[in-house]
Structure 1
Amino acid sequence: MQHFPIFLDMAGARVVLSGGGEAALAKLRLLMKTEAALEVYAPAPTQDLVDLAAEGRITLVRRSLATGDVDGAKLFYAADEDSDEDARTAAIARAEGALVNIVDNLEDSGFITPAIVDRDPVTVAIGTEGAAPVLARAIKRDLEERLPPVLGLLAKVGKAFRPMAEKLPFGRARRDFWADYYFGAGPRAFEAEGAEGAEQALDALLETHLKRAARDGHVDFVGAGPGDPELLTLKARAALDKADVVIYDRLVAPEILELARREAVMIEAGKTGFGPATKQADINAMIVEHAQGGAQVVRLKSGDPTVFGRLDEELDAVTEAGISWRIVPGITAASAAVASIGQSLTKRERNSSVRFLTGHDVEGFADHDWRALARQGEVAAIYMGKRAARFVQGRMLMHGADPSTPVSFVENASRPDQRVAEATLATMTDVLAGADMHGPVLTFYGLAPRAAAAMADACEQEIAL
């Protein structure tokens, strides 16, 4: 993030603008929504600027900007529509301590003006750091449609009521109260009785929420998906938005953690394969402790919580403690990884079933039906299988599997740094060692990347001819 967004207090602030044409007028249309004192320096102003000065909305000085004119100003806009004059006036403003914006010159500007959705006192600022103004305008248009005009009035009413709302416990109870007002009771009361009704609705709503403020905590077991935040479900997004506490696994992508509510307590409960790990009993205790304290807890697991996520142990803990819970499924790594190689997990006349295995517990492999998996056309998705690769290879060959059976490795499935390596059963350990994969790897036994499979089919056809 090159440009850090802030909201400046413009009440009584002095803002100076140099320029008398359309560029200056465009900036003034936005600045006149603030409480700032606006001064415009222009030797030949347009009639629109003259009219604004006559209405008392700006102070118009009919000459070029000179040294001393910007002293004490908070912001300065160079809108001279002439690069040399912009450079001259900007230099004066910088020397006199103002933040400087040069219209249509991102590189030399000290700040940028975002696209704004105005529901005073609710203000939404949208910036793309100058990279995509069209995108910023599209987002603004979408938000303008989503946010009702009455939102600003409700915010003003709510602001005056905030001391009364402090009767509610800090945290979820207050958030639920305000969410109920702004998106439910408030709009309904305004529609029925106008501003007075919207104000009166607060007292009744507060009484309702005070009665239920002592609610018990709750736990959502949420699947974070394989890593791409766009693969996160809407229900998962909603759970993160409400969470007081997020207890997350090491493999959950940082981009997904960013979606959690800013005030939420974030706790890593990492498990590193064959390395340091938080004990499962400690994770169970943390979940129960926070939920018993009344918190809305999200137990955030990479992929889908029902697939190799030790979900049952955590469910047993919260159930025994009498805590309510919900499972929010996610996209498991196998689904994302198989999509990345252009294949499907099952295929008519090839395999009607697929096995999900975990290579983390190699000892558990001893009881697996390796003879059945070694049959032609079988497919398996092996989670956390890097260390178990040689064991799998040996077992499969021992039970008669074809050494040329395709094997694919997908590292960091769905993420920007995703990598794919193709091999065969005979070469899989050498290929995996040469690929030097350090991220989470999912191994597909019986599947090759589609491009490689297509080439193999073409070669077989040529041989047949």
Structure 2
Amino acid sequence: MDHFPIFLSTNTARIIVSGGGDAALAKLRLLMKSSAKITVFAAQPAAEIEQWHHAGKLTLVTRAMDYGDAVCAKLFYGANEDAIEDARTAHLALTCGALINIVDNLQDSQFITPAIVDRSPVTIAIGTEGAAPVLARAIKADLEERLPQSLGTLARIGKTFRAAANALPFGRARRDFWREYYFDAGPKAMGDGQESVLPALNTLLDDHLNKTARTGHIAFVGGGPGDPELLTLKARRALDEADVVIYDRLISPEILELARREATMIDVGKEGFGIHTPQEHINDLLVEHAKAGAQVVRLKSGDATVFGRLDEEIDAVDAHSIGWHIVPGITSASAAVAAIGQSLTKRGRNASVRFLTGHDMKGFADHDWSALARPNEVAAIYMGKKSARFVQGRLLMHGADRHTPVTIIENASRADQRVLETTLDALPAALKAADFSGPALTFLGLAPRAALAAAPSLKLEEFA
């Protein structure tokens, strides 16, 4: 992020615009939505700027900008549509302490102006760091259609009611009140006219003041394989409501960004055969925060019910009579098989698929290896990088074909996803040469569909 977004107070602030043509007009139409004191310097201003001056919307000075003209200005816009004049006036503004923006000159600008959706006092700013203005405008147009004009009215009325709402306890109680106002009671009242909103707010506040506080609760949420677009809507809602998020190591930063800024974020990551948070400590954290009344999200990679030690955590919270529910997620096997254009089952090939974990080496000895070694069997091995040689040995010992296809997908669904196509015979050597550092899922009996080009593929011959 090269540009940090902030909302600058423009109440009585001085803003300077140098220029009187089309570029200046575009900036002024946006700036005049603010409460700033705007001064325009232009020797030959457009007629529209002159009209705004006579209407008292801005101050027009019909000459080029000179030394001292930007004193006490917070912002300066160079909109002269002339590189030399823009550079000259920007230098003048800079010596007076103003932040400068030169239209269509990102390199020499200290700030950029985002695309804005105005539902004052609700304001949405959309920026692309100057890389894709067309994209920013498209997003703005989409949001303009989605957000009703009444949103601003609801926000203005709500702002006057904030002191009264402070009678509710800080935190979840207030959030629940305002959520119900903006998404249910408020819009319904607006349907009967603006004058109905304030009485509805008073009724809603009385209801919430007499409401019993919600008890602590735990949502065991499947965070999916890493792509935030694969997170379910139910998971998104759970994150939005969470007071505490207890998350695993493999949860991607993009998904963590979806949690509320005020939420307490607790990393309880475990690394296979490495450092890890003891399961007992995780159980204690769940109980501690839920008993304190928090709405807790236990965020697990993939699907919480697949190799997620879910039962141990449920047993721990059940022992304290704490409420919980499960939000399913997309497991890594589903994302990984999609990446290679295959399906987990196929008529005439395999009617079942086995999910194994390579983390439990002792448990591996108990698998039906003779069944897995049969032709056309398919298995998905989670966390199987370190157990590759063991898997190879067991299958070959039970008669598996050395040329059985094996595919390993690292970081399934993520931007840095990689696919390794090999065979059972070459599995350990190919995996070592690939030097995967991220989480990987191994498919026994599946090769990428030949026509697929959805991800970079590391071919077997590269490791010959």
- TM bucket, shorter chain: over 0.9
Equivalence for 2:78: 78
Equivalence for 1:368: 367
Q: Secondary structure at the match of 2:409?
A: strand
Q: Which digits, 9 at most, give the CA deviation of each residue in 1:67-114, with x for residues without a partner?
A: 111111111111111111111111111111111111111111111111
Matches within 5 A, 1:37-436: 37-192=37-192, 194-436=193-435
CA–CA distance in 1 between the matches of 2:251 and 2:25?
48
Classify 1:47/1:306 alpha carbon distance in 2 versus 1 (closer, same or farther; 3 Å).
Answer: same
Instruction: Report the CA distance between 1:177 and its aligned residue.
Output: 0.5
Q: Which digits, 9 at most, give the CA deviation of each residue in 1:208-242, with x for residues without a partner?
A: 11222421011111111111111111111111111
Q: Secondary structure at the match of 2:365?
A: helix
| Structure with greater proportional helix content | 1
| CA contact 1:169–1:213 (8 Å) conserved in 2 | no
| CA contact 1:407–1:443 (8 Å) conserved in 2 | yes
The AA in structure 2 aligned to 1:409 is: I
Instruction: Report the CA distance between 1:423 and its aligned residue.
Output: 1.8
Instruction: Report the CA distance between 1:453 and its aligned residue.
Output: 11
Q: Which digits, 9 at most, give the CA deviation of each residue in 1:291-339, with x for residues without a partner?
A: 1111111000000001000111112222232222221111111111111
CA–CA distance in 2 between the matches of 1:213 and 1:15?
50
Q: Which digits, 9 at most, give the CA deviation of each residue in 1:329-386, with x for residues without a partner?
A: 1111111111112221111111111000011111111111111111111010001111
Instruction: Report the CA distance between 1:158 and its aligned residue.
Output: 1.5
CA–CA distance in 2 between the matches of 1:213 and 1:85?
65
Q: Secondary structure at the match of 1:443?
A: strand
The percentage of counterpart residues that share the same residue type is: 68
Instruction: Report the CA distance between 1:433 and its aligned residue.
Output: 1.4
Q: Which digits, 9 at most, give the CA deviation of each residue in 1:159-210, with x for residues without a partner?
A: 2222222222222211110010011111211221x33321121221112112
The AA in structure 2 aligned to 1:163 is: A
| CA contact 1:173–1:213 (8 Å) conserved in 2 | no
| CA contact 1:245–1:264 (8 Å) conserved in 2 | yes
The AA in structure 2 aligned to 1:416 is: A
The AA in structure 1 aligned to 2:65 is: L
CA–CA distance in 1 between the matches of 2:190 and 2:328?
38
Q: Secondary structure at the match of 1:238?
A: helix
CA–CA distance in 2 between the matches of 1:47 and 1:411?
61
CA–CA distance in 2 between the matches of 1:347 and 1:446?
12
Q: Tell me how large the CA RMSD over aligned residues is.
A: 1.5
Q: Which digits, 9 at most, give the CA deviation of each residue in 1:122-181, with x for residues without a partner?
A: 111111111111111111112112222121122122222222222222222111100100
TM-score, length of structure 1 as denominator length: 0.95
Higher mean Cα deviation, 124-133 or 312-321? 312-321
Q: Secondary structure at the match of 1:12?
A: coil
Equivalence for 1:458: none
CA–CA distance in 1 between the matches of 2:425 and 2:77?
68
Matched, 1:20 2:20: yes
Q: Which digits, 9 at most, give the CA deviation of each residue in 1:257-281, with x for residues without a partner?
A: 1111111100011111111211112
TM-score, length of structure 2 as denominator length: 0.95
Q: Secondary structure at the match of 2:157?
A: helix
Q: Secondary structure at the match of 1:74?
A: strand
| CA contact 2:221–2:327 (8 Å) conserved in 1 | yes
CA–CA distance in 1 between the matches of 2:452 and 2:369?
24
| CA contact 1:224–1:303 (8 Å) conserved in 2 | yes
Equivalence for 1:461: none
The AA in structure 1 aligned to 2:139 is: I
CA–CA distance in 2 between the matches of 1:54 and 1:210?
52
Hey, which bits of structure 1, 4+ residues long, moved more than 4 A?
none
| CA contact 2:307–2:357 (8 Å) conserved in 1 | yes
CA–CA distance in 2 between the matches of 1:338 and 1:30?
49
| CA contact 1:168–1:213 (8 Å) conserved in 2 | no
Task: Report how many aligned residue pairs link the two structures.
Answer: 453
The AA in structure 2 aligned to 1:138 is: A
Unaligned runs of 5+ in 1: 455-465
Equivalence for 1:438: 437
